[in-house]
Structure 1
Amino acid sequence: MTHNAGKYHIWLHLLGAALIGCAFLNATTAKAAESPTAGEAGMAVYKALLPKAEAGDAEVQTTLGLMRLRGDVVERDLKVARVWLGKAALQNHTPAQYYLGQLLLLDVFNAKQSDLNKQLTEGMGWLRRASRDQHNPSQLLYSQTVLESQLESPFGHSKIEAQQHLDSCAEVHLPCTQYALKRLDQGKEEVYCPNNEFCEQKKRLLYTLANAGDANARYRLSKFEGEDRMFWVRRAARLNHPQASHELAELVLKNEVPLQPEDPAVLALLNTAAQQGLQESMHLLGSLLYEGTRFPVNKPLGLQWLNLAAQRGHKPSIELLAQLQEPADNIPAIDKVESAQPTESTP
Structure 2
Amino acid sequence: MFLRVSIRHVWFCGWLALLPAPVFAQQHDFQTTSQKALDGDADAQTTLGTMYAYGRGVEKDDAEALKWHRAAAEQGYAPAQSYLGLRHEYGWGVVQDFAEAARWYRLAAEQGFSIAQTRLGALFKEGHGVPQSDAEAVKWFRAAAELGDAEAQSSLGLMYSNAKGVPQDHGEAVNWFRAAADQGHAEGQAQLGIQYLYGKGVPKDEVVAAKWVRAAAEQGLASAQVLTAILYANGNGVAENQAEAVYWLRAAAKQGHALAQAKLAKHYISGAGTPQNFNKAYIWFNLAAANGDKESVMARDELGATLRPEDLARAQSQATACISSDYKDCD
Normalised to the residue count of structure 2, the TM-score between the two structures is: 0.48
Give the number of the structure with larger relative contact order, counting CA–CA contacts within 8 Å between residues 6 or more apart: 1
Structure having the higher Rg: 1
